[in-house]
Amino acid sequence: MDKDILAVCMIGAGSSWGRADTLEGALGLCKLNLERDWGSIFDLGGKTMTISCYDVTGNDVVRFEYHGLIGDNEEQFPIQLIEHRDVTLKAYKRR
């Protein structure tokens, strides 16, 4: 079974995320989505944010609830925190 990594960054009352088969891929998608999703609302250029990375392998659907991440198959494939990674963001530029 291939790895399935979910990277999530909470911001304000929302979040941005990236999901890929590698840690670096999920981090890159999360960072890009964070800059695109929130860069027109907040000045993110040069700011450092923490992205949390989870191994969600075996779970097709993953959602947040009040006590954390819940997967549709977590009984068989528990969700595990891999690491928290700080990333520096770029300023948002409209195309």
What is the structure's pLDDT at 12?
Answer: 81
| pLDDT tens readout for residues 47-86 | 999 999 999 999 999 998 887 888 999 899 999 999 999 9
Do the Cβ atoms of 51 and 8 come closer than 8 Å? yes
Phi, psi (rounded to 5 degrees) for 37? -70, -40
Distance CA 57, CA 66 (A): 21
Distance CA 57, CA 5 (A): 7
Do the Cβ atoms of 39 and 50 come closer than 8 Å? no
| pLDDT tens readout for residues 3-39 | 999 999 999 889 999 999 999 999 999 999 999 999 9
94 has a pLDDT exceeding 80: no
Query: What pTM was estimated for this model as a whole?
Result: 0.90
**Any idea how long the chain is?**
95
Query: Could you tell me which residues are beta bridge partners of residue 53?
Result: 7, 83
Measured CA to CA in angstroms, residue 43 lies from 30, 39, 92, 94 at distances of: 17, 6, 8, 13
CA dihedral 18, 19, 25, 27 (to 10 degrees): 40
